[in-house]
Amino acid sequence: MTQERAHRPPDPSDPLPELTAEQLATLHTVGEQWRRAAGAPQNWRVALPVDPHVGSYPARHQVHQPRYERFVTVADLGSGPQTTEASQAADMTSSPLGRAGYRARRVLLGPALKSTALVRERMRKLVALPVLSSDALSSVAYGPEAMLTILVIGGVAGLTLSLPLALAIMFMMLAVGLSYRQTIRAYPNGGGSYVVAGDNLGRMPGLLAAGGLIVDYVLTVAVSIAAGIAAITSALPALSGATVPIGLGVIALLLAGNLRGVRQAGVLFAAPTYVFVFCVGAVIVVGLVRAALAGFPPAPPPRIDAVTGVTLFLVMRAFASGATALTGIEAITNAVPVFRPVEWRNARASLTWVILTLLALFGGIMALVLVTGTIPAPGETVLSQLARHSFGTGAMYVLVQASTAAILLLAANTAYNGFPRVLSLLARDHYAPRVFTRMGDRLAYSNGILLLSVAAALIFVFFGGSTTALIPLYAVGVFLAFTLSQTGMVVHWWRSRSRHWRTSLAFNATGAVLCAAVFVTAAIAKFTSGAWVALLAVAAFVLLALRIRVHYDAVGRALRLRPHTVSLPGGNVRVIRRSPVRQTTEPWRPVEMKPVRERAEEETEEGEEETEAEEEETPEEIHHLSVVPVETLDLANIRALAYAASLQQPVLAVHLSPSEEEAERMRRYWTHWGDHLPLEVVVSPYRTIIAPLVNYIEALHEQRPGLTITVILPEVVPARLWHRLLHDRMAFRLRHALHERPKIVVTTVSFHVR
């Protein structure tokens, strides 16, 4: 996977890849052809009517974040009027329907954040632990019950196996938790199952792990909401008939909340989790103390009839169902960077506390079940029965049910953080449409959030919001990803042979074997109960991802530079010397930058008169500057540069870079090409590509309001209609973002791919 990332076609959201020696030689050859066709590079610099350097964005470490705010606004480039946000301008239309839609969007999602709104989420362990462990800890609300629901089919004989099965699951919790501690050590910057499996096992295992995660996240939303509603209806049976409408309402609320991009503060996340741990702990302690004071009397035998005999198949099904209590244990491993320094050490410490808490709660619930003889009952969860046994139906019982519902709903929100990020990683590796790399108005992966909500709602409705019906689907995807991740870590330690590698390998090997056992058990034992749906979904996902990658690879081959196939300009630039363009009889040199308004006032005092758009009635009154956004030096981008240069008007190439390292790499490639046209590299480490580009173009426009700026974009046009869904409509978005600005034109240079 690592080698593939180094050689795949670049994406606007990715760092510019390193070029091979062969590619550099081709780039130099193409540059020689350009030199003979375009003339001296200095002529193009002399012709520039604007100062291309309009300022720079501050680096992340230079931005001071207010203590109680998550979003920090960074100043625009230049110092002119505030820019129109890309997404905001795209929504604003002159029609009443367009204005109504815009207002509704702003009410639901809030005002659009500036492209330079910086998000920082560094959490201390006390806050990070509940935020990232809600999915894992909430599983004790349905994991033990899922196991007992299967065992009760075997009657009293089946229930006698609950203790050994519970001990086996607790051992697996410990082994898997310790193995994920080793993953944090090997991937201190965060390593999810997709990354770990892809790096160490190859493309197909990585995609299988990603497919398991995708299925897991969709089912996490459905299962968590179903379990949360079950907790509510156990306390309020009158609501049991409205399970599906309530669930859809909760999904709608999660969708709206996550599209807004502002998640609750850490304290608000922490409170329900800590309350849940306290309440379940109190249920366990009070129940066991009462039993101890009574001398642990034997529980009355349950009045159940065996539906089937106790077979190996039944035991396997029960073990796989109970093992769902491990879901969410990998969340801390995926989110190491959100911890305060030292990140990996704090993450490992938090994971240790999660493991210990999970063992205590799961073991305590099973012990109380055995002492009280509690079994699953229609219309009431096992945890609800235990709470009534310990506290009756008073205020404490209500608090237990309320905290259970709250943490289960928070566990669903965990999927809204993981699902869009996995899709964005897949999109950057060209296994998913590029649209999933795009962030919305509130700096959230809006397209991934929408897809997750729709998929979870369909699953929830299809299975009627039943936790029992959804659990068989749940274990397959989770433990497929677990197995591949742990196996990948075994390969990692075997290759690296770093310090204590044998111990780490042993932990990960144990976790891999146990997770594989659960995966195979769930796939076989629950195949007819619905596990086939999850397996089919993973297979369909892998097939679709491979087809998408085939298309992107074909586009990459078509865009690869080849000598004698590159479009060349047809002449040199004409230096325009009439107002309002700055008359350039000498080469342009960097000057001390002043605020845009101040520069405009000085130019007016010197006698420069600006030509308004309404006064341009003849061709000679229009003065041009072509701005060409360049992602990388491939055929499509070279063709756009050639088209711009052939107009024999001033041309400025712009490259938006997420880091100084990539910016320097782009300058090096540009020089290797021949430095034929002026290039300005803008370092903008703030997530988006459209809005910083709009910001830069508007800053140029403020320098010379009388200048007509033509933005020339390369656009890949595939032959098949469905392939066009895989390409970002950058020209369309940029045109809508700039359509309210006078004297700015957006045009495209199509590159057709068969």
714 within some domain: yes
Residue 381 has which token pair? 């969860």
Q: Residue 585 maps to which CATH number?
A: 3.40.50
Which three-class secondary structure state does DSSP give residue 674? coil
Residue 238: its pLDDT value, please? Answer: 83
694 within some domain: yes
* Section 715-729 average pLDDT: 79
566 within some domain: no
Q: Which domain holds residue 85?
A: 60-109
Number of domains composing the chain? 3
Asked if 337 and 408 sit in the same domain, the reply is yes
Banded model confidence at residue 121, pLDDT cuts 50, 70, 90: low
Asked if 93 and 193 sit in the same domain, the reply is no
Asked if 72 and 172 sit in the same domain, the reply is no
Q: Which of 265-279, 447-461, 701-715 has the lowest mean pLDDT?
A: 265-279
Asked if 453 and 499 sit in the same domain, the reply is yes
Asked if 254 and 291 sit in the same domain, the reply is yes
Angle, to 10 degrees, between the axis of helix 162-186 and the axis of helix 343-372? 180
Element (H, E) at 652: strand 651-657
| C-beta separation of 170 from 362 below 8 A | yes
Higher confidence at residue 357 or residue 738? 357
Instruction: Indicate if the pLDDT at residue 24 is higher than 80.
Output: yes
Nearest Cα neighbor of 86 from 605, 540, 737, 607 is 737
Asked if 586 and 522 sit in the same domain, the reply is no
The average confidence (pLDDT) of the chain is 79
Higher confidence at residue 121 or residue 519? 519
| Chain CA centroid to CA 632, Å | 24
Residue 572: its pLDDT value, please? Answer: 57
Asked if 266 and 355 sit in the same domain, the reply is yes
Distance CA 499, CA 491 (A): 15
561 within some domain: no
Distance CA 709, CA 612 (A): 14
651 within some domain: yes
Q: Residue 436 maps to which CATH number?
A: 1.20.1740.10
Distance CA 303, CA 446 (A): 51
Distance CA 347, CA 340 (A): 9
CA distances to 210, 596, 703 from 602, in Å: 58, 10, 11
Asked if 535 and 661 sit in the same domain, the reply is no
User: What pTM did the predictor assign?
Assistant: 0.77
Angle, to 10 degrees, between the axis of helix 501-525 and the axis of helix 467-496? 150
Asked if 149 and 47 sit in the same domain, the reply is no
**Residues 6 or more apart from 96 whose CB is under 8 A from it?**
none
563 within some domain: no
Instruction: Indicate if the pLDDT at residue 84 is higher than 70.
Output: no
Question: Over pLDDT 70: what percentage of the chain?
Answer: 78
Please return the burial class of 554, using the count of CB atoms within 10 Å of its CB with bins 0-12, 13-18 and 19+: middle
Asked if 158 and 287 sit in the same domain, the reply is yes
| C-beta separation of 178 from 508 below 8 A | no
Banded model confidence at residue 604, pLDDT cuts 50, 70, 90: very low
333 within some domain: yes
Q: What is the pLDDT of residues 158-172, one digit of tens each?
A: 888 999 999 999 998
185 within some domain: yes
Instruction: Indicate if the pLDDT at residue 588 is higher than 50.
Output: no
CA atoms within 13 A on the CB side of 449: 23
**Residue 570, amino acid:** G
Q: Which of 2-6, 339-343, 711-715 has the lowest mean pLDDT?
A: 2-6
Q: What is the pLDDT of residues 439-475, one digit of tens each?
A: 665 566 788 889 999 999 999 998 888 877 787 777 7
Banded model confidence at residue 585, pLDDT cuts 50, 70, 90: very low
* Section 126-131 average pLDDT: 80
Instruction: Indicate if the pLDDT at residue 751 is higher than 70.
Output: yes
* Section 184-192 average pLDDT: 78
Asked if 540 and 587 sit in the same domain, the reply is no
Residue 566: its pLDDT value, please? Answer: 62
Asked if 157 and 95 sit in the same domain, the reply is no
Distance CA 433, CA 552 (A): 9
Distance CA 317, CA 345 (A): 37
